[in-house]
Structure 1
């Protein structure tokens, strides 16, 4: 997993790289203009802060999530090696927002408002996703934020549990995707039946006209 973001207004010329979810006990090491955050117990890298990153990658014009190229990942790994860190970044180009099909939606055993869905996301993959959307039901086409997705508000989707039931992803709303004129209340974005094929990357450009003013 590799999730990167850049917010020069708030953080200056700093690229944030996230590889794993936060843990309670962390170790922080800084070598020159790179800070590594790791899990104290396992030693695994949780993430990096790359300061003055434009010296390595050139000027970045993105404000938010950055989708790195293979060359850029190589440049950052070279920087890690030059600053005596293990070059452990791996390119991640997998689509994180995809069209899904809700095969089933069953009552959560410990909640009167949550549903446990089986949602197909293409290539034979079906995810168990717990949803609190009031319009959730079986036999609908939806948008799924898969593990490793960064939502427009900066929230990162990790594996989790809701009241003791595993949930691997999130079925999202138009409001959460910040689509123009989306209803500002809870409820999954239900796509027209023939909108896109299951498993395809969700087309954000096309979705700009999903809701009319």
Structure 2
């Protein structure tokens, strides 16, 4: 679940994205709540208008926000009061440390690689175009449902005909202050826990000290 705010373009509005929109969307609005479904009727999101009545909107920054349990409960109460039967809930983190178990050349590309990445409780196939990707690395993985600092949403897809479930990230893509200005995914120390939640401050400090080079 992605929860985000854009105070300039959509003032006093909270946007909730639950799944990828792959086609024509349908909208149903009741009492400042818009329920959004795809063309097959699957729920893909909500928009909450006049959201300052539910949460402390002014204190929240632009971009992705993580709501407190109390704020999430207020949104669910609003959904129920509007007559919808859905309920919002945060899942596990989507920006996590992963271990690259396999790394093979893409069958239809001279620069892409097909990797198998362990993210703690499961493994995923991810296509990666970074020149420094290699088997045995610890990396940062953006799983589907991630909103990147530049506004990019990460969902399952395919690259040159090969399925890819997420993205292996560079320091620049993660928005880290000390990110090197060259191509390449960020390789973190081996002692980082596979499946653990990405820690931006810790990683940026390691970049600044030279303990992480990409």
The structural deviation recorded for 1:104 is 1.2
**Is residue 64 of structure 2 the alignment partner of residue 65 of structure 1?**
yes
CA distance in 2, matches of 1:56, 1:22: 26
The structural deviation recorded for 1:15 is 0.1
CA distance in 2, matches of 1:181, 1:205: 11
The structural deviation recorded for 1:201 is 1.2
Q: 1:211 aligns to what? A: 207
Q: Tell me the alpha carbon deviations over residues 138-166 of structure 1, each in whole angstroms, 9 at most, x when there is no partner.
A: 11111111121111112121111111111
Q: Which runs of 5+ in 2 are unaligned?
A: 210-214
Q: Which runs of 5+ in 1 are unaligned?
A: none
CA distance in 2, matches of 1:138, 1:43: 41
Q: 1:115 aligns to what? A: 113
Q: 2:95 aligns to what? A: 97
Question: In the TM superposition, what are the counterparts of 1:1-213 in structure 2 within 5 Å?
Answer: 2-40=1-39, 42-59=40-57, 60-86=59-85, 88-123=86-121, 125-194=122-191, 196-212=192-208
Give the ranges of 4+ consecutive aligned residues of structure 1 lying more than 3 Å apart after TM superposition.
none
What root-mean-square deviation, in Å, do the aligned CA atoms of Structure 1 and Structure 2 show? 1.7
Aligned residues of 1:133 and 1:186 also touching (Cα < 8 A):
yes
Q: Tell me the alpha carbon deviations over residues 93-145 of structure 1, each in whole angstroms, 9 at most, x when there is no partner.
A: 4111111111111011111111000111113x211110000111111111111
Aligned residues of 2:106 and 2:112 also touching (Cα < 8 A):
yes
Aligned residues of 1:73 and 1:89 also touching (Cα < 8 A):
no
CA distance in 1, matches of 2:52, 2:152: 25
The structural deviation recorded for 1:7 is 2.0
Q: How many residues align?
A: 208
TM-score (normalizing by structure 2): 0.90
- Which stretch shows the higher mean deviation, 27-36 or 50-59? 27-36
Q: Tell me the alpha carbon deviations over residues 174-195 of structure 1, each in whole angstroms, 9 at most, x when there is no partner.
A: 000111121223210011333x
- Which stretch shows the higher mean deviation, 17-26 or 75-84? 75-84
